[in-house]
Amino acid sequence: MRVALTIAGSDSSGGAGIQADLKTFQALGVFGMSAVTAVTVQNTRKVYDIQEMRPRIIHDQITCLFDDIPIHAVKIGMVASIPLIEAIAGALGTIDRLPPVILDPVMVSKSGYALLQPDAQAALVRHLFPLARVVTPNLPEAETLLGRKIADLEDMKAAAREISALGAKMVVVKGGHLKQGSATDVLFDGEVFRMLESRRIDTENTHGTGCTFSSAIAAHMARGETFFDAVGHAKDYITGAIENALSLGRGCGPTHHFF
Ligand code: PLP
């Protein structure tokens, strides 16, 4: 059995965070485990509050799993604050032969709530990018990381190269937020670029898309796939999950993980 670990926040509404990650792992045939960083109070309309876990508890969730079970990929999502980032980096830094780490640099929810404290952005780059094999920023996250606007595919390629230079070797800059055209993602493995195009799906129900996409990459990498293959298969999966998204609740409904 291939095993993936998600280090992320809980979404009480079940569409994003740890819940989305575990459903994605299950849907893609990988055994899922979780180290919870924070618990959000959340429904399909918005995030209301956040309770962070104690850093020691996060650290120990990670180390006790690695002590016991072979883990084939790690996904990192919401990391909330500097002490939690340091705890995660401290735990992963002790692991011999760390499996691929897929880091989704989660910053702000679609409803506008800060899931990463603004003063923690530098710590995310400094402590977690060097441990990551892949980072998956969307356009607003890439803009925040680089401090400038990204307007088109050429800008996305330049951004991928610069984010790779920040420490993570491989980068997926997700184009879903580009105003015009299709939802093209730019992939960069440190040497070669590839574009992954998909048609734009017209739906309000996109809660948890970023979490689902990065955990699908982790699941495929846990199964031994290369970066380009894993991202291509993850893109197929997230496209299907959005096409079949569920209109639950009165806000942004979740993607459907089993379709
Ligand atoms: N809640 C948690 C715990 C998350 O990790 C995330 C995204 O990573 C979200 C909420 C935000 O989901 P969305 O912006 O897709 O609504």
- Each residue of 180-221: pLDDT tens digit? 667 899 999 999 999 998 888 888 899 999 999 999 999 999
Check whether 102 has a pLDDT greater than 80.
yes
Check whether 133 has a pLDDT greater than 70.
yes
Check whether 95 has a pLDDT greater than 70.
yes
Q: Tell me which of 3.40.1190.20, 3.40.50.300, 3.10.310.30, 2.60.120.10 is the CATH number of domain 3-137+203-243.
A: 3.40.1190.20
Can you give the pTM of this predicted structure? 0.97
Q: Where are the domains of the chain?
A: 3-137+203-243
Q: What is the pLDDT of residue 183?
A: 80
Query: Which atom of ligand 1 lies at the shortest distance from residue 11's CA?
Result: 3
At 42, is the pLDDT very low, low, confident or very high (cuts 50, 70, 90)? Answer: very high
Cβ partners under 8 Å of residue 244, min gap 6: 255, 256, 259
- Each residue of 143-190: pLDDT tens digit? 999 999 999 999 999 999 999 999 888 999 999 877 766 789 999 999
Calpha distance 212→177 (Å, rounded): 16
In the numeric block, the tokens 């898309």 are attached to 209
Ligand 1 shell residues, CB under 6 Å: 8-9, 11, 16-17, 40, 42, 77-78, 106, 109-110, 115, 207-211, 252
- Name the closest-CA residue to atom 16, ligand 1: 207
**211 is annotated as an active-site residue:** yes
Burial 227-247 (b: 16+ CB within 10 A, else e): beebbbbbbebbbbbbeebbe
